[in-house]
């Protein structure tokens, strides 16, 4: 057998062709999985990548150097601390809660998946208000939870009376909010959070506030978390901490919620290196805040640039801006930007977001490249 024949042996399409010759019938996937489109975030090989809301800057050098020291000290032959105790103590101190009120996971997405495995499931319902972060519905479906989609107003704000009525009518086990909301960048008013929290408590249910971009915003729901309220706040190291590659996120929640999440998380799901990386990062809070201040200033500079162009855009408190070209077709504008080596998120075919694009705030030179490419495309 020559090497190309050997490679062809493991090419998946060939394997599946052969298997289908042998096996007449295949087991069908679960019904709700069969209906899922899957999660897609297309990537292109471009010079300026402003499509996934990552930080344009790496974590501080001091953090990376300290991490190298940690690497050598890890007992690689042993399982990691299953309770991630030191990480949780550090996160708890950072957030001003008790360690028993912190649940860490491989990205906030995995934390949300654990939440839905524990509190969603067959016969239970999750409520989300669209447009919002697609993974809230996606993860709920994965956990065999029925999803009810509520609507936002045309300006993407949420009508409090309508939201409260949806909660009392559908009695969701979990109600999702995202603040700042992805993809609009808008922060939910404190009065709405407090009202929904009271309504959800009466059911009883849980209110999940996804604060993946929380540190960019003027308000946080973390201060409302206590043992008596059914409030869970999700946060991540992926955005403000510049650690998307680490896959680390956490929930701040009453300890009675965290205790249930620990039952559904796979044993030792958080590796030792990641636990150390997350704990160490918190020592660089000042550097994180400095990076964020730069991004917030850049966000406002992009917004001012968009004001000069024929686009509508929405006031954002995150590290991205949603915008809609006034007369041009969103798809064509996205393609025009990509042709100029600038990749933004194409939301133009998403429900309720016709014609919209979302740009992540990048480094100053990347933002310049975006603004000049956009003006070339539009003018």
Candidate residues 178, 187, 221, 356; the one interacting with ligand PLP per rule CB under 6 A: 178
Near ligand PLP by CB under 6 A: residue from 210, 298, 317, 366? 210
Stretches 94-102, 107-115, 298-306, 360-368: which one binds ligand PLP (CB under 6 A)? 107-115
Which residues have CB under 8 Å from 211's CB, separation 6+?
A: 179, 217, 220, 221, 222, 233, 234, 235
Round to whole Å and give the CA distance between 307 and 4. 56
Instruction: Tell me the per-residue interface mask from 225 to 254 with ligand PLP, x by CB under 6 A, - otherwise.
Output: -----------x-x-----x----x-----
Which among 77-85, 103-111, 150-158, 269-277 is the span making contact with ligand PLP, rule CB under 6 A?
Answer: 103-111
Of 140 and 182, the one with the shorter C-beta distance to ligand PLP is: 182
Smallest gap from Cβ 249 to ligand PLP, in A, equals 3
Is 109 an interacting residue with respect to ligand PLP (CB under 6 A)?
yes
Residue with tokens 């995995």: 110
Q: Which is nearer to ligand PLP, 145 or 182 (CB)?
A: 182
Distance of CA 99 to the CA centre of its chain: 23
Q: Scanning residues 127 to 166, which ones bind ligand PLP (CB under 6 A)?
A: 133
Main-chain dihedrals φ then ψ at residue 235, nearest 5 degrees: -135, 160
Contact segment (CB under 6 A) with ligand PLP among 58-66, 84-92, 102-110, 258-266 equals 102-110
Q: Which is nearer to ligand PLP, 149 or 375 (CB)?
A: 149
Candidate residues 182, 220, 316, 360; the one interacting with ligand PLP per rule CB under 6 A: 182
Q: Is 184 in the site for ligand PLP (CB under 6 A)?
A: no
How far does CA 180 lie from the centroid of its chain? 11
Task: Candidates 116, 127, 212, 217: give the one binding ligand PLP (CB under 6 A).
Answer: 212
- Strands in 320-325's sheet, in edge-to-edge order, are 48-50, 342-346, 357-360, 320-325, 311-313
Dihedral sign from CA coordinates of 255, 260, 261, 267: positive
Q: How far, in Å, CA of 157 to CA of 152, rounded?
A: 6
Gap between the Cα atoms of 227 and 33, Å rounded = 35
What's 204's DSSP letter? T
Judged by CB under 6 A, the stretch of 6-14, 55-63, 104-112, 223-231 that binds ligand PLP is 104-112
Output the smallest distance, CB 235 to ligand PLP, in A. Answer: 8
Out of 108, 145, 275, 346, point to the residue binding ligand PLP (CB under 6 A): 108
Please identify which residue in 59, 60, 107, 131 interacts with ligand PLP, judged by CB under 6 A: 107
3-class secondary structure, 211: coil
Cα(15)–Cα(367) distance, integer angstroms: 45
Reduced to 3 states (helix: H, G, I; strand: E, B; else coil), residue 16 is helix
Number of chain residues interacting with ligand PLP (CB under 6 A): 13
CB of 216 or CB of 377, closer to ligand PLP: 216
* Nearest-approach distance from CB 210 to ligand PLP, in angstroms: 5
The crossing angle, in degrees rounded to 10, of helices 3-10 and 12-22 is 60
Query: Where do we find the tokens 């686009």?
Result: 311
Q: Which residue lies nearer to ligand PLP by CB, 110 or 287?
A: 110
CB within 8 A of 39, min separation 6: which ones? 134, 135, 138
Report if residue 172 touches ligand PLP, rule: CB under 6 A: no
Chain positions contacting ligand PLP, by CB under 6 A: 53, 107-109, 133, 178, 182, 210, 212, 236, 238, 244, 249
């Amino acid at each position: 057998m020559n090497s190309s024949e050997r490679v062809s042996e493991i090419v998946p399409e060939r394997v599946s062709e052969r298997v289908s010759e042998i096996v007449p019938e295949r087991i069908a996937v679960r019904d709700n999985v069969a209906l899922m489109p899957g999660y897609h975030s297309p990537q292109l090989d471009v010079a300026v990548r402003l499509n996934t809301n990552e930080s344009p800057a790496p974590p501080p050098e001091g953090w990376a150097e300290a991490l190298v020291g940690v690497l050598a000290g890890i007992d690689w032959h042993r399982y990691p601390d299953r309770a991630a105790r030191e990480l949780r103590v550090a996160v708890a101190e950072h957030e001003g809660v008790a360690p028993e009120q912190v649940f860490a996971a491989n990205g906030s997405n995995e934390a949300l998946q654990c939440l839905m495995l524990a509190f969603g499931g067959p016969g239970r319902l999750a409520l989300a208000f669209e447009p919002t972060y697609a993974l809230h519905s996606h993860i709920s479906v994965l956990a065999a939870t029925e999803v009810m989609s509520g609507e936002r107003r045309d300006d993407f704000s949420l009508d409090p009376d309508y939201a409260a009525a949806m909660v009392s009518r559908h009695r969701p086990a979990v109600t999702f909010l995202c603040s700042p909301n992805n993809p609009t960048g808008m922060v939910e008013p404190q009065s709405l959070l407090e009202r929904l929290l009271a309504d959800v408590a009466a059911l009883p249910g849980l209110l999940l506030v996804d604060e993946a971009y929380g540190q960019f915003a003027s308000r946080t729901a973390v201060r409302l978390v206590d043992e008596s309220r059914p409030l869970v706040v999700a946060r991540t190291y992926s955005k403000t901490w510049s650690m998307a590659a680490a896959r680390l996120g956490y929930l701040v929640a009453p300890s009675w919620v965290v205790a249930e999440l620990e039952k559904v998380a796979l044993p030792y799901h958080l590796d030792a290196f990641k636990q150390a990386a997350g704990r160490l990062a918190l020592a660089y809070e000042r550097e994180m805040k400095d990076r964020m201040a730069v991004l917030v200033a850049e966000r406002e500079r992009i917004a001012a640039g968009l004001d000069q162009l024929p686009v509508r855009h929405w006031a954002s408190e995150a590290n991205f801006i949603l915008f809609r070209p006034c007369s041009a077709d969103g798809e064509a504008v996205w393609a025009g930007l990509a042709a100029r080596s600038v990749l933004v998120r194409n939301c133009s075919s998403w429900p309720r977001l016709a014609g919209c694009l979302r740009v992540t705030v990048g480094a100053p030179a990347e933002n310049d490249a975006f603004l000049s490419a956009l003006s070339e495309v539009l003018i």
